[in-house]
Each structure stands twice: as C-alpha cells, then as structure tokens.
Structure 1
C-alpha cells in the first residue's frame, strides 16, 4: 500500500510539473506591459497629488471598467472614465489638445501604461501613467471618492475591528 501511495504521489507530482510549463500568453502580456513602460513615463502618487493640489491643467483618465469605478476613484477637475478597450475610439472624439498633459491610471498599473502607450501612438505628446494605479495611490495615503463620499483607507488593524 505504501508503494502504491508513493507511486501515486510521484505520478501526481510529475503531472503537475508537466502542466506547469510557462504560459506564453501571460509571458506576452507581461512583455507588452514592460515594453510600454519603456515608452511611457510613470509618475508617483505624490506627483499626481501635486498636480491636483497645484490646480494643474491636465486630464485624468481612469481606464478601469465602469464596474470598477464605483468602489473608489481619484478626484480631479478634468476626470474621465474610459475603459482600456475603448480608449482608441473615445478619446480622439473628445477634442483634447494633443499637447495637453494626460495622466492615465487603472487598478495596479498595467492597463494604465498600455493605454498611455496607445495615446502616444495616436499622437498625444504629453502622456504619463500613475505608477501602481489606484492601489498605489491608496497605499500612499491619498483620498479616494465613491458614492459614500471621500475618504482615506486605513489598514484593517487600525479600524479596531481586528481581533
């Protein structure tokens, strides 16, 4: 019985290692994001906050899906939610000058940098991406807005609810 279980375990381990080969689609996706980061400047959450506080003339484009936005968004004077899949079609219709500063963001950075790269390819000259996306923004301690209001998130341990 022990030999049977050992043989079964070895067979299972071998099967998992055979199917655990590299995922070429995931590798290509990572390569696309990495290549986009070579073309697009990224700004920190602090740099974006400085733009907002300084009342800079820029456009903030949230490229998350419309379903993601109600959880939390970054407030800016000129804010648009245009999902990553529609950016090529929607932004050119908005008559935003090609030399105006555009800041893109998503959840953690990947879609934002791909959107920024696309905008650069379309002819927008002053496009940057928020490094770390809204997650990085929140982790830096900056406020977000949702239908309940504007707030800062705190670690769960600081809420008094943790045991």
Structure 2
C-alpha cells in the first residue's frame, strides 16, 4: 500500500529537528548557519524571502547539496549547519530528511515555514 504525502512529511518530521521561528532567528543572527529557501522562484518573487537566505528550489536541492555533483554549490557544506524552509514546512521537512541521507549531520527546518516567520513579524526581503 502506498503512503500519502502527509504520512511522508510526518515521518520526516519525526527524524529531523523542527525549529520554531525564534530559534531560527537566533541562529541566523549568530551567524555560521546556511539558511536555505526551497521555494520556486515565482514564490520568492511574490512573497519575498528571509534576509540572507540562499535560494535553492526544491527540485535542485540534492544536486546543489551533493559535493560530488557537477551542480554542487559552495554554500552547501555537509559539515556545516543548514536550516531549510519553504512556504509552510512540508517541503522543508522532506528536504531536511533528504540532506540527512546525503550525510549532512546538522540540518533542521523552520517549523511552519515562511508563513510562521511572517506571522511572527520577522523581516522579509526581495533583495536576496
């Protein structure tokens, strides 16, 4: 029997760090973290993003994150701290689990995504 996307997200959330907005904000302010926006370019254009975030659409994440990939981006370091986010937390939960499978040890996601960030009154930008 196949699983629903809701079940897959629940399984991923059980295996990753689900960080609230305040913890993500503190980590970003402290520095030394790679904050990754997994949304599509049209979403980012419409809604903005978190200042300092690296834009990496979900469909390219594995290629950008894998050091052996010809598409690897230097911002992605398996030994570094990575916090992922999307619109509401589903894609980022699945993506965090995927990065764990690729050997990333310190990976988490923003619980509730950009929606939670905005609802908490945190800043966004269209400049990244």
Q: TM-score range by the shorter chain?
A: 0.7 to 0.9
Task: Determine the structure 2 residue equivalent to 1:59.
Answer: 34
Distance 2:86 2:77 in 1: 22
Does 1:88 find its partner at 2:62? yes
Q: Secondary structure at the match of 2:4?
A: helix
TM-score by length of 2: 0.87
Does 1:105 find its partner at 2:81? no
Q: Secondary structure at the match of 1:31?
A: helix
- Number of positions where the alignment pairs a residue of Structure 1 with one of Structure 2: 120
CA RMSD of aligned residues (A): 1.6
Residue 121 (structure 1) shift: 0.4
TM-score by length of 1: 0.69
Does 1:28 find its partner at 2:4? yes
Structure with the bigger percentage of helix: 1
Gaps of 5+ in 2: 67-71
- Residues 55-96 of structure 1: CA deviation (Å, up to 9, x unaligned): x201011000111111210012xx311111211112221243
Residue 97 (structure 1) shift: 2.8
Distance 1:34 1:52 in 2: 26
Task: Determine the structure 1 residue equivalent to 2:69.
Answer: none
Q: Secondary structure at the match of 2:36?
A: strand
Q: Which structure carries more relative contact order (alpha carbon 8 Å, separation 6+)? A: 2
Gaps of 5+ in 1: 1-23, 148-163
Distance 2:86 2:64 in 1: 17
Distance 1:86 1:114 in 2: 14
Does 1:116 find its partner at 2:96? yes
